[in-house]
Amino acid sequence: MCRRRSWMRIWTWRAAPWPRACRLRPAAGRTGWMPSPGRRRVPPSPPCTPSRSRARPRSDGWKARSSGGFLLPPRSKACSGSARRRWRRAWRVFWAQPAQAPWTFNMLAYNLEPNGPWTHYQPGNDHNAPQVTLQLRALMTNPDFKRDFINRCADLMNTTLSTGRMTNLIQRMAAEIAPVMAEHCARWRAPADWTTWSNNVEFLKQFALQRPEYMRRHLTNQFGLRGWGNVTLRVSDTNTGAIRVNTIVVVAPTNAPWTGVYFRDNAVTFAAEPQPGYRFKNWQGFFGPLATNQTNTVLLSGNLSLTANFESTPDTNPPVPLPYDLSAGPYVFSRWDAAQPAGTYPAHMVFLQTETNAAADPGLGVEFTNHWTLPYNRSSRSR
């Protein structure tokens, strides 16, 4: 809201009549308005420039106050005392008592209103005029976009905009600037004092606490959904994989579930994402073919609890021996004990064999293609 408009709204909202000598008229040859006897009238918006000082005299006798960029009437015998105090009180009440808590406002309906603007929300506001909301309203006619829009809202409220994260962020930022706020308030009077600043911080926390509930109601009402449900996700071991829900990847400690809120009647996608060296095994919580599908898109009908199980990937790539550093001396290999486990090799070496379907006594020209994985004994043809 620009300051010019704010100034007019402050003056047109009065809790009590002004003294006759303090009514306003244009000052000849000057900008602004001066106190004068006569018929009451509402002044137009005069220039209103904020000042760095607490009160800076103007050429027309008015003073610009830095705490809000508003004008104080000039001091005179006829316009002082109770009239000035009533003016300040009207300004404070106007801003401190909104018609409703801001976290209840339905911004979604505001931005999808086809017959805007909502002038009753803020006089002169055309932020949701039809030409402004046209693109979003057109996109909402696409079922895929609408589904993804609802899911993205849910993803953000479960992560970035969750009450816990936002509250911690507010507390951390407040703690960072708290040591200098007393000096700031004393110097600039914006906010007026430490108590006002503390109340503002608590207001932000209250917004973070209350807003998600109202936002879910707005989404439910706007798109005709049947409420929402809790989704609880686990993985068999976080070292083996994770779960992707729509646009976010859930990473939680082993056996410690992650819980989010998603909307009924709106398709939600769950995908198991294994870590390198592991593969997806199955789902606990899905049944039938869904239990073995790595990715499932389902309509929620209520609460849902899922566990993704992963297993080790079979070693299809044979090991490659580490090279030996000849600068340390010559490499020496003399023997390999038959009691060594199958599939093990001496340091810096591997044993190869011919194809398993090769002749019992292959010729010298037969290629060695496979790693030796059998026990080291005569019955296994190792010699």
Alpha-carbon span 246 to 260, nearest angstrom: 12
Is residue 140 located within the same domain as residue 79? no
Which amino acid is present at 227?
G
Contacts of 309 (CB under 8 A, 6+ apart): 235, 236, 280, 281, 282, 283, 284
Is residue 275 located within the same domain as residue 372? no
Q: Is the pTM of this model over 0.75?
A: no
CA 227 distance to own-chain centroid: 21
Structural domain of 286 = 228-312
Is residue 80 located within the same domain as residue 165? no
Is residue 365 located within the same domain as residue 252? no
Is residue 113 located within the same domain as residue 190? yes
- The token duo for 40 is 């009451």
Is residue 203 located within the same domain as residue 248? no
pLDDT string in tens for the chain (383-residue length): 344 333 333 333 333 343 333 333 444 444 444 444 444 444 444 443 343 434 444 444 444 443 333 344 444 444 445 544 443 433 333 333 344 688 999 999 989 988 877 766 666 677 888 888 999 999 999 999 999 999 999 999 999 999 999 999 999 999 999 999 999 999 998 899 999 999 999 999 999 999 999 999 999 999 999 999 999 999 988 888 999 999 999 876 666 789 999 999 999 999 999 988 889 999 999 999 999 999 999 999 899 999 999 998 876 565 677 888 888 889 888 888 888 888 788 888 888 877 656 566 667 777 777 778 888 887 776 65
Work out how many domains the chain is built from and give that number. Answer: 4
Contacts of 8 (CB under 8 A, 6+ apart): 42, 43, 44, 45
Alpha-carbon span 157 to 166, nearest angstrom: 10
Choose one of 312, 328, 346: the last residue of a domain. 312
CATH number of the domain to which 308 belongs:
2.60.40
Is residue 75 located within the same domain as residue 177? no
Choose one of 263, 284, 312: the last residue of a domain. 312
Choose one of 45, 72, 96: the last residue of a domain. 96
Is residue 52 located within the same domain as residue 15? yes
Is residue 294 located within the same domain as residue 343? no
Is residue 216 located within the same domain as residue 130? yes
Alpha-carbon span 379 to 383, nearest angstrom: 10
Is residue 307 located within the same domain as residue 320? no
Is residue 125 located within the same domain as residue 208? yes
Alpha-carbon span 50 to 45, nearest angstrom: 14
- Cβ(105)–Cβ(89) under 8 Å? no
